[in-house]
Amino acid sequence: MHYYFGSMEELLMQVLERFTDRILTRQRAMYADPKLPFIEKWRRAMSYIDVDLEAGYPKIWYELQAMAWNKPEFRERLLHVHEQWDAVLTEAVTTALRDYGIDRKRFPPQAVAVLVRTFNEGLLLERLNGYDNGHRALLKMIDNLLQRWERERVR
């Protein structure tokens, strides 16, 4: 039996950090798989949104972000979580843009990674609030674009 004598916020922060480590390990392994084309990695990543919502990860993440607005002692640790996500996404996007032959000066990988990250955070936040209007259409639009890039890459 384990006893915890710290604050509830500290406990939640530790849960988030461990949870993040597990999810990022999953994401890194998926993006590193040379047998999967990026479109399949994207589809899998989007399916993880529902998995992660059900597991409670986004709820803890958002509750701690709100808490950190008033408790700067947690802000640095939350920034570390953001930085870890940025690193994984930037690497995945850089590889995808290169593989698809997309102009990385016109579409800088870091900027595209920020777009993907904030897009995902928006989907998660809205779904936590029970709202998903337009999500399916947006994901379909992105999937169609990736399908086109896959066809063009194969030529």
Residue 141 lies in a domain: yes
Residue 69, token pair as written in the block:
């607005």
pLDDT at 153: 85
Residue 117, token pair as written in the block:
């990250």
pTM: 0.89
Whole-angstrom Cα distance, residue 88 to residue 94? Answer: 10
Tens digit of each residue's pLDDT (9 = 90 or more) over 57-101: 999 999 999 999 988 888 999 999 999 999 999 999 999 999 999
pLDDT at 155: 66
| Domain harbouring 130, CATH code | 1.10.357
pLDDT at 100: 96
Whole-angstrom Cα distance, residue 137 to residue 105? Answer: 28
Burial of 7 (C-beta count, 10 Å sphere; 0-12/13-18/19+): exposed
Residue 129 lies in a domain: yes
Domain range holding 122?
11-154
Q: How many domains does the chain have?
A: 1
* Band of pLDDT at residue 2, cut at 50, 70 and 90: low
Residue 4 lies in a domain: no
Tens digit of each residue's pLDDT (9 = 90 or more) over 89-131: 999 999 999 999 999 999 999 999 999 999 999 999 999 999 9
Residue 2 lies in a domain: no
